[in-house]
Chain A
Amino acid sequence: MLLARIVGTVVATRKDPRLVSSKLLVVRPIDPRGKADGNHLVAVDTVDAGVGETVLIVSGSSARMASGLKDCPVDAAIVGIVDTITVAD
């Protein structure tokens, strides 16, 4: 899983029927110290996250195991809002 920061929202009127009522957010992966690292991606939110929060992203087929995403055509899902990250020196 990747750590990421939510940087925006995506609005899409026309989409796969299984994505209707899904909340789509733009996220930017970060390293454990909070620095942006890698390209932006679109992820489905399953935990009511908001812009500016640090979240945990599950990607690939595992994203469909997130709550409410069974059989949905997604490859990235937000499954948790991060409180703290501790990195050993």
Chain B
Amino acid sequence: MQLARVIGTVVMSHKDENLSAATLLLVQPLTLDHQPAGRPLVAIDSVGAGVGEEVFFVRGKEASFPFYPGEPPVDAGIVGIVDHWDVEV
């Protein structure tokens, strides 16, 4: 899983039927210093995250697991909203 910040939203009216109820958010992966790391991507939201929040997300087919037995065609999914993180050494 990776840490990221939600930076925006994506709206689609014509999409795969299994995405009809999906909330799609733009996320920017972060370093442990809260700095952007790498290119932003689109992730499905299963926890009610909002723009500006720090989250963690999974990549791969596992991103669809929160919607089981539904099978949305997604490869990135937000699975938690981070309150804070602490790093020692």
A-side residues, CB < 8 A to B, are 1-3, 29, 31-32, 37-38, 46-48, 56, 58-63, 65-67, 77, 79-88
Which A residue's beta carbon lies closest to that of B63? A62
Contact between A32 and B7, CB atoms less than 8 A apart: yes
Find out whether the CB atom of B15 lies under 8 angstroms from the CB atom of A88. Answer: no
Cross-chain pair count, CB within 8 angstroms: 101
Query: CB distance B8 to A1 under 8 Å?
Result: no
Q: Is the CB of B14 within 8 A of A80?
A: yes
Bound complex: CA of A82 vs CA of B26, how far in Å? 13
- The smallest beta-carbon distance between B16 and chain A, in angstroms, is 4
Given A31-B40, A86-B9, A87-B8, the answer on whether A65 and B60 have CB atoms closer than 8 Å is: no
Q: Which chain A positions have C-beta within 8 A of B15?
A: 47, 56, 79-81
| Interface residue from B10, B14, B52 paired with A88 (Cβ < 8 Å) | B52
Task: Output the nearest chain B residue to A77 by Cβ-Cβ distance.
Answer: B73
- Chosen A-B contacts, 24 in total, with CB atoms closer than 8 Å, are A1-B41, A1-B74, A2-B41, A3-B42, A31-B40, A32-B26, A38-B39, A56-B24, A56-B42, A58-B74, A61-B60, A63-B73, A63-B75, A65-B18, A66-B73, A67-B17, A67-B18, A80-B19, A82-B12, A84-B10, A85-B11, A85-B26, A87-B8, A87-B26
**A82→B10 contact, CB < 8 A:** yes
**A31-B73 in contact given A79-B15, A87-B8 (Cβ < 8 Å):** no
Q: Which residues of B contact A56 (CB under 8 A)?
A: 10, 12, 15, 24, 42
